[in-house]
Structure 1
Amino acid sequence: MIRLLLVDDQALVRGALGALLELEDDLVVVGEAGDGDAAGIRAAELTPDVCLMDIQMPRTDGIEATRAVLAASPATRVLIVTTFARPGYLRGALDAGASGFIVKDAPPERLADAVRRVHAGLRVVDSALAEASLFDGANPLTEREQQVLRLSADGRPIARIAAEVFLSAGTVRNHLSSAIGKTSAANRAEAARLAHDKGWI
């Protein structure tokens, strides 16, 4: 049997995924986690064969949670299962050590097959997303640019952002200006939206 850990902040989604996967003779759900913070703890307790991981969760996202799971249980394979088919998320997840990336609207048989393939040591990536990732290229934003752009998305003043990241207002403006140029946006709000849509922030 392939032992599974399900990590998703929506209980209904975890229940539906678990019910679908347990229809398969060789798959069994041994545990669940409702957020990224709990993922590493549950992985350490259960040492599952495969962890099915959501991307967008409160506090700790699926990319950071993937790192935590692999640190806690190095033999576990992580399969990202998400609604958000964004090239930046794919690259981030693979860089964090995930073995696969599939969207939640995939047919149940494809999901079960992805679990088996990841368990066998293969890499599984949604084909349409892999193509988009290839043509969109890597995330051009530095970590600092991502940070200030993420903080500016809600329109907060530059002085407040500067205080939160311990930088001068001028340095924050420089990072935002660079991010605006790299995203070919007209302003920081548009840059944040474009970067979010691509999964860069």
Structure 2
Amino acid sequence: MTRVYLADAKLEERSALRVLLLDLKMEVVGEAADWPTTLAEAPVNRTDMLLIDWDLLPNSPTAALNELRKACPAALVIILISHLDARQQAALSAGADAFISKDETPDRVAERLRLAAASVRTV
């Protein structure tokens, strides 16, 4: 079972993602509404996949994601983006493995998460 850590400032978005992940037979091992909590808790939960809201990252996303990768080297990092603009390229440039738009349909988000989970299992 893929172990997922959620990091999003909005409780309602974390709740919706949690329901979707549970429906996909993934285990939510932790949640955070801020960056310091994410950085402190994600490594101790043996996380396979990190779902992180772009807006939660500090001013230097590249440095933040580098620090997270050092703490969780085996975890897949997926950035959640609310506006598809230069942020999608910035997320990938900052070190994310993938991004998912918050504007996508639940079915599309589920499909992208299934594909990500499959890559976790094959690594």
Q: Shorter-chain TM-score category? A: 0.7 to 0.9
Q: Deviations over 1:75-122 (max 9, x none)?
A: 0001111212122x2222112221111111212222122123223449
Matched, 1:50 2:60: no
Matched, 1:90 2:81: no
Residue equivalent to 2:112? 114
Residue equivalent to 2:97? 99
Rate the CA distance shift 1:116–1:66 in 2: closer, same or farther, 3 A: farther
State the 1:2 CA deviation: 1.0
Measure the CA separation in 2 of the matches of 1:44 and 1:62: 20
Contact 2:78 2:96 in 1 (8 A): yes
Kindly, what percent of the aligned residue pairs are identical? 33
Q: Look at both structures and tell me which one has the larger radius of gyration over its CA atoms.
A: 1
Task: Report the TM-score when normalising by structure 1.
Answer: 0.53
- Unaligned segments of structure 1, at least 5 residues: 123-201
Contact 2:48 2:74 in 1 (8 A): yes
Farther off after superposition, 35-44 or 69-78: 35-44
Measure the CA separation in 1 of the matches of 2:51 and 2:99: 10
Residue equivalent to 1:74? 73
Q: Deviations over 1:29-66 (max 9, x none)?
A: 11101112222212211121111110113x72693543
* SS of aligned partner of 2:9: coil
| Corresponding residue pairs, total | 119
Measure the CA separation in 2 of the matches of 1:62 and 1:6: 20
Measure the CA separation in 2 of the matches of 1:56 and 1:118: 21
Structure richer in strand, relative to its length? 2
Deviating runs (4+, > 6 A) in structure 1? none
Larger RCO (CA under 8 A, 6+ residues apart)? 2
Rate the CA distance shift 1:62–1:9 in 2: closer, same or farther, 3 A: farther
Measure the CA separation in 1 of the matches of 2:74 and 2:94: 15
Q: Which amino acid aligns with 1:21?
A: L
Residue equivalent to 1:6? 6
Measure the CA separation in 2 of the matches of 1:115 and 1:41: 24
- Unaligned segments of structure 2, at least 5 residues: none
Matched, 1:63 2:73: no
RMSD over equivalenced CA pairs, Å? 2.2
Q: Which amino acid aligns with 2:65?
A: T
State the 1:73 CA deviation: 0.6
Q: Which amino acid aligns with 1:70?
A: R
